[in-house]
Amino acid sequence: MAALCRASPRFLRKPGLCRTARALSSEKHEYDLLVVGGGSGGLACAKEASQFGKKVAVLDYVEPSPKGTKWGLGGTCVNVGCIPKKLMHQAALLGSSLKDAQRYGWNVSYPVNHDWSSMSKAVQNYVKSLNWGHRVQLQDKKVKYLNLKGSFVDPHTIRGLMKGKETLLTAENIVLATGGRPKYPTNIAGAREYGITSDDLFWLKRSPGKTLVVGASYVSLECAGFLTGLGLNATVMMRSIPLRGFDQQMATLVADHMEGHGTRFLKKCSPTKVKKAENGRLRVTWKYLDSGKEKSDEFDTVMWAVGRAPDTQTLNLEMAGVKTNPATGKIIVDARETTSVPHIYAIGDITEGRPELTPTAIAAGKLVAQRLFGQSAELMDYDNYGCVGLSEEEAAGRFGADHIEVYHAFYKPLEFTVAERDAAQCYIKMVCLRQQEQRILGLHFIGPNAGEVIQGFALGIKCGATYSQMAKTVGIHPTSAEEVAKLHITKRSGADPTVTGC
């Protein structure tokens, strides 16, 4: 500890801090488990650990975005991710339903206008209720909640900081779950000064108006999709392919569907600068990567969705000896979510090689607690999480193209028929291993209620379901999910996969 004090003068700003940390580290630790980060994974881990009668604390602090947006306990998913996104997506779906309603005999008077401020207020109020609910849950489970910004002093000691006040906490075990934050491009003039990210979009009190969304990630496409659905002018600018890392056939279908329903796409383009025009709007200049030609247009809002970075910079990981990947800044962990320090663990978006998904962070957090304090030795399975399993590309890469079978179908949901909706992109793909009963490696679905459908089949895929078992499943009629059980045409056959009739 003496070497630490000499090598780290920033810890000498307050007299006695090093002496206090040394004293704490030499005594019995205050907590059995200290979780740094109050997002989905961290909260799940803390609550699970408390069930074993352990003394647990959660530190959570939200650094305001460059635009000053801040939120409460619950992490990205609750505050600026899955929850507000789905609610705003639902608002967009209701607008589509109004169009369908006329075909079904409803007398809908036009024009129908959407009020952003009413929607955002309702969504934000619900999110705030979730913030409070998380605090109540922690209190009920006797988990100490500390609204502090945590950083390491030594491998067992965390310094909590809030408004200049410091608190030192020690723990036998520490779990890092601070998640990630959106990136701003560093090579584009005006990007940070005039642009926003998803950290800000869901908390806007006024409509973003004509919006440029830069990037081709799922964050980009989800946000541009619901903005279009709300009747706003939305443009997606992307350098290369949409939804990198996802099954590319499905990704292309999604982008085509969006384009066909009003979202503008600027493909193979890269922004070069953003500046404020005299009329108050934002003039964006971009370059076409194929030709090098430049063009510009004015927007009310520019949203960056060019990736996320792990929120690890202020953790002082070097003080604990926790190793990261220098290229990504993410924490290196093993199959047990253990870092380079045996009693320090990391879960969720800050870990190297893990999917940046809420359900996987929650599951991984619970399993860490169960391995630490229960009798479990179970490890997190990152192949068969409740999303879609392997893409066609991943399956071919892992097993060889000749060793996989792909069953697929284009179908038309019943609810689309009377409304005369275009169903050209409604598509199902099941990727299987070509052996005996054909184990299912992945399931991909585009259509209404896709999340609900996939979740229903996730258990089967987790349990090693085969194509033959799926083919023997009696469908629930008439549903879109039923089409999964009816899959029978393979890509290898070359037959038309379009479903006709019931």
Least confident of 23-37, 94-108, 158-172, 360-374: 23-37
Tokens of 54: 């352990």
Contact 211, 231 (CB under 8 A): no
Give the distance from CA 499 to its chain's centroid.
Answer: 33
Look-up: residue for tokens 């990210």?
Answer: 197
Mean pLDDT of 156-161: 97
Q: Give the residue ranges of DSSP H helices in 141-208.
A: 191-194, 198-201
Instruction: State the Cα–Cα distance between residues 336 and 286, nearest whole angstrom.
Output: 45
Closest CA to 154 of 364, 365, 373, 8: 8
Q: Residue 17 — pLDDT band, cuts 50, 70, 90?
A: very low
User: Which two three-digit tokens encode residue 177?
Assistant: 């779950």
Pick the CATH number of 392-485 from 3.30.390.30, 3.40.50.920, 3.30.420.10, 1.25.40.10: 3.30.390.30
Burial grade of 94 (CB within 10 A; 0-12, 13-18, 19 or more): middle
Decide if pLDDT at 13 tops 70.
Answer: no
Could you list the residues known to form a binding site for NAD(+), using ranges. Answer: 215-222, 307
Q: Which of 147, 153, 151, 92 is nearest to 119 (CA)?
A: 92
Per-residue pLDDT averaged across 323-331, rounded?
97
Tell me, what DSSP letter sits at residue 343? T
Burial class of residue 158 (count of CB atoms within 10 Å of its CB; 0-12, 13-18, 19+)? buried
Question: How long, in residues, is the chain?
Answer: 502
Say yes or no to pLDDT of 3 above 90. no
Ordered by start, the domain boundaries in the chain are: 2-61+147-182+309-373, 76-123+184-306, 392-485
What does the pLDDT read at residue 389?
81
- Cα separation of 378 and 217, whole Å? 32
DSSP secondary structure code for residue 309 in this structure: E
Which residue in this structure is represented by tokens 């949901």?
A: 413
**Who has greater pLDDT, 123 or 7?**
123
Known binding residues: 86, 150, 215-222, 307, 349
pLDDT in tens, 291-308: 999 999 999 999 999 999
Residue 140 in tokens: 């009920």
Q: So what's the pLDDT on residue 384? A: 54
Q: Are 213 and 224 in contact (CB under 8 A)?
A: yes
Q: Which pLDDT does position 318 carry in this prediction?
A: 97
**Is the pLDDT reported for residue 316 higher than 70?**
yes
Euclidean distance between CA atoms 228 and 235, whole angstroms = 9
Domain 392-485 in the same topology as domain 76-123+184-306 = no
Degrees to nearest 5, angle at CA 495 with 491 and 497: 75
Q: Tens digits of per-residue pLDDT, 465-479? A: 999 999 999 999 899
Specify the pLDDT at position 1: 30
Catalytic machinery residues: 477
DSSP SS3 for 122: helix
Instruction: List the CATH code of the domain at 2-61+147-182+309-373.
Output: 3.50.50.60
As given in the structure block, the two tokens for residue 15 are 């007299």
Pick the CATH number of 76-123+184-306 from 3.40.395.10, 1.20.1250.20, 3.50.50.60, 3.40.50.720: 3.50.50.60
Residues marked as binding for FAD?
86, 150, 349
Render pLDDT for 42-66 as a digit per residue (tens, 0 to 9). 999 999 999 999 999 999 999 999 9
Lowest mean pLDDT among 50-59, 171-180, 316-325, 418-427: 418-427
The two structure tokens encoding residue 118? 């009413």
Angle at 246 between CA 195 and CA 403, to 5 degrees: 165
- pLDDT for the residue numbered 223: 98
Give per-residue pLDDT as tens, 219-278.
999 999 999 999 999 999 999 999 998 999 999 999 999 999 999 999 999 999 999 999
Report the distance separating Cα 408 and Cα 488, nearest Å.
7
